[in-house]
Structure 1
Amino acid sequence: MHSPIPTLDIARFVSPSSPRDRAAFVAELGAAYREWGFAGIRNHGIAQATIDAAYAVFKEFFALPEAVKCKYHVPGGGGARGYTPFGVETAKGAQHFDLKEFWHIGREIPDDSGYRPVMPPNLWPAEVPGFREHGYGLYQALDALGARVLSALALHIGLPGDWFADKTDSGNSILRPIHYPPITAEDVPNVRAGAHEDINLITLLVGASASGLEVLSRQGQWVPLTADADTIVVNIGDMLQRLTNHVYPSTTHRVVNPRGEEARKPRYSVPFFLHPNPDFLIDVLPSTVTPANPSRYLEPITAQGYLEQRLREIKLK
């Protein structure tokens, strides 16, 4: 990774050469997140063919006529499933909408699940063969990888390695294929993704090998983050920041517009937003409260309540 933000080999955690190496990985990962809120993960175990197949169907969908794509837009749905057109999402506090369109794939759950009222069924575009197979296949692969990252983070702050397992097994997690169209006008006030923090526990980004992603350092400098093709970038979201009393910071980041001829090219990326179960109560973990870091939140809030609050702020609801 061409950045001061560390890239770590998660094989040292999943199949370590020794207990000492596994413990060292946990310490290094925790330190990276305490400093940056971001880290690169390599040897993640997701086959490149799985990623390539998903990207192929996503690109095929975004190339469809606008009228066809808009058949899969759900008015009033907050973008929870299906298609969100260009010019809708706006970063919190920003004046101008982001230069992107996207699709949301959520967790497949039974219709009689108690979570069905807040986790609607997925939509699948009939015009793109293989969209469901490859899109949901990548969803499941990233969900499993995210569980491993959360396990290491739990150990780093003194929790059991499986602490998150029953709190995310029905999580309202989202896979978001994004298309940033070519920018044809000069000096547009909009950017591809305005400065923001993510809402969820952690985000796993497949496709950070394209330039544009920048992370705000603690010193107030924007640091470009372009990963190697075999690296998945994983960052902390606001829910985990709140849960850990800011031990793990949710770092501001953005996607800037390229210059010159690069601006005339489309950009694609696929983040996976890992969420807790909707009824999970986000309350500050006692182990993260110290005299030097007193509790910053007096009242707990459910994951669903927090999500709805934030979706209103970014104009998806």
Structure 2
Amino acid sequence: MTASLPILDLARLDAGETERKTFLEDLRRAARDVGFFYLVGHGIPPSQIAGVQALARRFFALPAEEKRAVAMVNSPHFRGYNAAGAEITRGRADWREQFDIGAERAALPRESGAPAWTRLQGPNLWPAALPGLRVGLLAWQEAVTGVGIRLLEAFALALGQPADAFAPIYAGAPNQHIKIIRYPGREATPDDQGVGAHKDSGFLTLLVQDGEGGLEVADVNSGWIAARPVEGAFVVNVGELLELASNGYLRSTIHRVVTPRAGRNRLSVAFFLGARHDATVPLLDLPADLAAQAWGPASDPDNPLFREVGRNYLKGRLRSHPDVAAAHYTDLLDTEARAA
């Protein structure tokens, strides 16, 4: 039975050929057997981690009207603030308040015949009452993107590919998504669902937790593994893009967050690294020994996976944020268009 997540030290990647080889083997094993691991040796200083957590706390301490001024329902690009209960996972409300940003890029022009996912690109919403949030979160985005790309290169090597195997589908405009999140204690929640059981849709997720637990990882043997906080470490998990590209050799694992007990709160900062919206996920030509163990990606019939990145990402956003969908995507809300 797996009792805890493995811990991997990214510094081993640059510690000589022998250490590099064993790190890649450990990375491949962790990503296949569990799909989650702790990452240390990533190079981001504790002061920067503490700084982004402090910024998140300052945001959530703002008056409700200041947060509502940057509500996600005002953004066709799915950026901004959601109060607890606004986001949906598997048909049920997630009990967390959160603030989402992406890469700071101009909106694309609305052209006749353009794919619907082109509407996803656009500017972030920023609270006027906390101007430092923009500077801090964009700096965090840049730093964690660098760690994520190093990990992607390591995954490519671990799968017998050139280090830049994934670069053609992220170079120039990777999908960079930050979500700062506060989970209220259980006395304020209708049930214990902080976030319902789900998989992540991108390449990788890198998560910073505070000292409050709650993240749980599905395991076929033990039910759920508690991803207990480890100071200075990211919790990293494999997303569906890597599962698709590796034909199911790598594992995108179901996970959930249980709300804290009464009188406590949980704070986390999640970074999701994905491919460009205009990309199509390739099927890697794995070495024969790995290919023999690739069983194909798992796909939920009610939530099918598409290799077209923008199509897949938009589908998830529309399902998770019905208020944004109703405000900005009414032309897509028939049953067939939801899968487009």
Asked if TM exceeds 0.5, the reply is yes
Contact 2:184-2:260 within 8 A present in 1 as well: no
Q: CA offset at residue 185 of structure 1?
A: 4.8
Q: Provide Cα deviations, 1:177-226, integer angstroms capped at 9, x if missing partner.
A: 0011233258x334111111111111000116421111111325111111
Distance 1:198 1:177 in 2: 16
SS at match of 1:281: coil
Residue-pair matches, total: 308
Aligned to 2:283: 284
Q: CA offset at residue 244 of structure 1?
A: 1.5
Distance 1:87 1:29 in 2: 36
Q: 1:299 to 1:40 in 2, by over 3 A?
A: closer
Distance 2:74 2:243 in 1: 29
In angstroms, what is the RMSD of aligned CA positions?
2.7
Matches within 5 A, 1:166-315: 166-169=168-171, 170-185=173-188, 188-207=190-209, 209-219=211-221, 221-259=223-261, 263-287=262-286, 290=291, 293=294, 295=296, 301-315=307-321
Contact 1:91-1:97 within 8 A present in 2 as well: yes
Contact 2:120-2:314 within 8 A present in 1 as well: no
SS at match of 1:282: coil
TM-score (norm 2): 0.82
More helix by share: 2
Aligned residue among 51, 57, 60 for 2:58? 60
Aligned to 2:86: 88
Distance 1:291 1:23 in 2: 21
Distance 1:121 1:185 in 2: 33
Alignment-mate amino acid for residue 235 of structure 2: V
Aligned residue among 131, 139, 142 for 2:141? 139
Aligned residue among 40, 45, 48 for 1:47? 45
Q: Provide Cα deviations, 1:19-54, integer angstroms capped at 9, x if missing partner.
A: 111111011111111000001110111111112111
Q: CA offset at residue 314 of structure 1?
A: 2.7
Q: CA offset at residue 142 of structure 1?
A: 0.8
Aligned to 2:154: 152
SS at match of 1:184: helix
Alignment-mate amino acid for residue 308 of structure 1: L
Q: CA offset at residue 116 of structure 1?
A: 7.0
Range moving further from structure 2, 306-315 or 280-289: 280-289
Distance 2:296 2:55 in 1: 45
Aligned to 1:31: 29
5+ long unaligned stretches in structure 2: 111-116, 326-340
Distance 1:299 1:310 in 2: 10
Q: Provide Cα deviations, 1:86-130, integer angstroms capped at 9, x if missing partner.
A: 2111212x4x31110111121123567999743111122110131
Aligned to 1:106: 102
Q: Provide Cα deviations, 1:121-170, integer angstroms capped at 9, x if missing partner.
A: 11221101311111111111110000011111111111111222342231
Q: Provide Cα deviations, 1:279-316, integer angstroms capped at 9, x if missing partner.
A: 11024323288466465599963111001122233345
Q: 1:57 to 1:300 in 2, by over 3 A?
A: closer
Contact 2:77-2:119 within 8 A present in 1 as well: no
Contact 1:198-1:238 within 8 A present in 2 as well: yes
5+ long unaligned stretches in structure 1: none
Range moving further from structure 2, 276-285 or 143-152: 276-285
Distance 2:87 2:276 in 1: 24
Distance 2:56 2:305 in 1: 40
SS at match of 2:196: strand
Q: 1:181 to 1:78 in 2, by over 3 A?
A: farther
Range moving further from structure 2, 232-241 or 109-118: 109-118
